[in-house]
Amino acid sequence: MKIVQTFAEARELAGGRVGFVPTMGYLHEGHISLVDAARRESDTVTVSIFVNPLQFAPSEDLASYPRDLDRDVALVEAAGADIVFAPPLAEMYPSDPLTRVTVSDVTETMEGAIRPGHFDGVATVVAKLFAGIAPDAAYFGRKDAQQLVTVRRMTADLSFPIHIVGSPIVRESDGLALSSRNTYLNRDERIAARSLSTGMFAVAAAVRGGERSGTVLEQIAAGPVDAEPGIDLDYATLADQESAATIDALDRPAFLAVAARVGRTRLLDNVHIDPDGGDWVPDEGIRLDTTSILYREA
């Protein structure tokens, strides 16, 4: 496996069908599942590791975001990647970018409403990575559901010839969706954080039991979080998978997304719900049966 710092090197080393996994590092099994999916479908697997300042508001955790390149390199090498693209800031942003990518409408609800400018930062860096790496396919986790909607729309609108693949959420053994930010949680916060996935599993059970009302499903998702002291719900929303617009009833491919704050940490979770032969099937994701590599040092 090669570690490179420039787009030119990343492109030169790649051959055949290129599968690309963009990350901000501090990798966990969710990222590794994306590398696995890319490995199955590609000749070259390129993983980028770059903490993108453009997608953090000044009040957010850019400075404290966990970083450990040696650890990440060892993990992606073990997962069978071919190239790690770990650019310095000057490669990604040689000067303050005057060009930003804004994806309207799909970024207005949920995370977009709470984190103004966040999705401009995401869309801008992903567009730059797509232009610089020139992959055939790019792999994103479904945990960041609205990000996936935004990237799909940006890719279509800008005619990037790149196939976007969304992969199921990977969860810790008690259900908490994996996130590099889980490392911020202290013992009490970690217990409170579990309420998000408790709500998600209850939503999945309700959908399987025939519930179709957006309001009822949102209440089911919010219930365990509202009942838990020390965690504050930002939203519980049933949204359209294509537009990320809020919907009243489960009548099209959808996701029920929640976001909450525990101490200084914001956490997201969701259940994607897809039609299958006249029925609606919730995807609860994949649960680890051991402690996550997230807690493993280099």
Decide: residue 104, CB within 10 A, 0-12 exposed, 13-18 middle, 19+ buried: exposed
User: Quick one: which segment of 61-69, 118-126, 157-165, 239-247 binds ligand PAF (CB under 6 A)?
Assistant: 118-126
**Least Å from the CB of residue 220 to ligand PAF:** 27
Q: Torsion angle, CA of 141/170/284/104, rounded to 10 degrees?
A: -20
* 153: Cα within 13 Å, side-chain hemisphere: 21
**Least Å from the CB of residue 147 to ligand PAF:** 6
Between CA 84 and CA 13 the distance in angstroms is 11
Decide: residue 74, CB within 10 A, 0-12 exposed, 13-18 middle, 19+ buried: middle
Give the per-residue contact string, 222-261, with ligand PAF (x = CB under 6 A; - = no): ----------------------------------------
Count residues contacting ligand PAF (CB under 6 A)? Answer: 10
**Least Å from the CB of residue 154 to ligand PAF:** 11
Is 124 one of the binding residues for ligand PAF (CB under 6 A)? no
**Least Å from the CB of residue 167 to ligand PAF:** 12
Total Cβ atoms within 10 A of residue 296? 11
Q: Pick one of 29, 82, 111, 144: the residue that binds ligand PAF (CB under 6 A).
A: 144
Q: Pick one of 125, 154, 203, 259: the residue that binds ligand PAF (CB under 6 A).
A: 125
Total Cβ atoms within 10 A of residue 105? 13
**Least Å from the CB of residue 251 to ligand PAF:** 29
Is 107 one of the binding residues for ligand PAF (CB under 6 A)? no
User: Quick one: which segment of 89-97, 121-129, 166-174, 237-245 binds ligand PAF (CB under 6 A)?
Assistant: 121-129
Give the per-residue contact string, 182-221, with ligand PAF (x = CB under 6 A; - = no): ----------------------------------------
Is 22 one of the binding residues for ligand PAF (CB under 6 A)? yes
Q: Pick one of 24, 169, 196, 244: the residue that binds ligand PAF (CB under 6 A).
A: 24
* 118 catalytically annotated: no
Catalytic residue (choose from 28, 31, 118, 272): 31
Total Cβ atoms within 10 A of residue 140? 21
Q: Pick one of 84, 86, 103, 126: the residue that binds ligand PAF (CB under 6 A).
A: 126
| Interacting residues with ligand PAF between 40 and 69 (CB under 6 A) | 52, 55
**Least Å from the CB of residue 230 to ligand PAF:** 26
Structure tokens at 170: 């990977």
Is 27 one of the binding residues for ligand PAF (CB under 6 A)? no
Query: Interface residues with ligand PAF (CB under 6 A)?
Result: 22-24, 52, 55, 122, 125-126, 144, 147
Which residues does the annotation mark as catalytic?
31
